Structure 1
Amino acid sequence: MDALNSLKIVLIQTSIYWENPEKNRSSLSKKIALLITDTDLIILPEMFTTGFTMNPSNIDKNQGEVTLKWMQEIAYKKQTAITGSILFFEDNTYYNRLFFVFPNGTYTTYNKKHTFTLAGEDKVYKAGTKKLIVDYKGFKICPLICYDLRFPVWARNTENYDVLLYVANWPKQRITAWDTLLKARAIENMSYCIGVNRVGVDDPGYEYIGHSATYDTLGNEICFSTNEEILHTTIHKEHIDETRNKLKFLEDRDTFTL
């Protein structure tokens, strides 16, 4: 297929050092340095510099800015976009904020809409209110964060996006929901759906077993892993167009606004 209508994507399924941004950036820098093929987009897990901590005051407030600068340096050096969410402090408020950084260093952001009340995230981090659609190399990408996966109305494809992307810290005991919902989001939105999860055990004792994956518009699995590793996947605009033109399911969407 035409490379101009494709995206080469890297999913980094990694363990995360608890509340240690410097060590996580160093570890990820080494992994990213190993990439020798052309890459259009690198995807990192949710809160990839700290783990899913509910104690953001343990982290220096400037670490979000430091990590953003690191992402910009990676993007420029590798000439690729990079995305993932981090703990970010702004205007005396903590956010679980995703950054999508373009190769030229410019960026756009998404604040997690559905904060995870079971862990008390809603009491620590301010929830976002706006959905983000990123236009990148001819693809429209909708990036969301972890718990957002359980809410199909928020992910509903009213913008005709091409890729639905979730970054997560999704634990082992609920991994069946992760697998099932990623596939469902792909099918119902007739888009590629990519989920990037972490591995390892965090400080509170929760185990993570990855299951990072890519599904096509019909819910077919393209890549999947339970190991700490780098996954490569390529998505094609032609597949999206052919499926939607043939089946036209999105034209039968219920009409309502959120």
Structure 2
Amino acid sequence: MEWLILRIILKVKRLLPILLGIFSFYIVVSAAAPAYAMHIMEGFLPVEWAVFWWIVALPFFVLGLRRISQITQANPQLKLLLALAGAFTFVLSALKMPSVTGSCSHPTGTGLGAILFGPLAMSVLGSLVLLFQALLLAHGGITTLGADTFSMAIAGPFIAYWIYRLVVPTGKQRLAIFLAAAIADLVTYIVTSMQLALAFPAATGGVVASFTKFAGIFAITQVPLAISEGLLTVLVWNWLANYGRQELEMLQLINQDE
């Protein structure tokens, strides 16, 4: 027991540099952003669309719980890394920059967890992050939790995982990580734009015109944020490669001889 406590303390000490860096980034960005910014805010979606996205998101959450259970039972040592992936998502997605009415732009932080543990596990971590933000930070909402979960915790992570698996065989792992994190961020807002367009089609042009409007406004803030998130995710990966090699080897993400 004492050995386990000592190991956890050592891991936390190793986490301090990256956590301090993320916290500093949060302070700088949030200082310029009003606190009222949200994902899709509470009560903003019509009831039928709020229910629809809850129904779509729930199966992924259930499958994600099973996946996390399998991971932790097979390798209990990975629990701390799993918590780190969730914390990374929580901090980054709390960086709020107002964008389209009823929503906001912010990094998502889901790419790292999707690469480490797969998209199903990230659907649970992302859902919990969104729940805590809705309850503690008034960032998002309970009625819109299904929609926010689908865009940030399901669509984004699945894209991140597929992009990583597609690019990593080329031998350029860090490029794969950058693209996975950045594109997952952008896809989250493409899906959010579609969700808003479906709920609020334009009087002229319908869903297509509404989607073009929402996506165009989001792109102004989201493209630079996506690039920044990709770079930050690579930095975190470099840190993990130095201080968490054992865990990455368990996940078969790096080789022992690297």
Q: TM-score, normalised by structure 2?
A: 0.31
Q: Which structure has the bigger radius of gyration?
A: 2
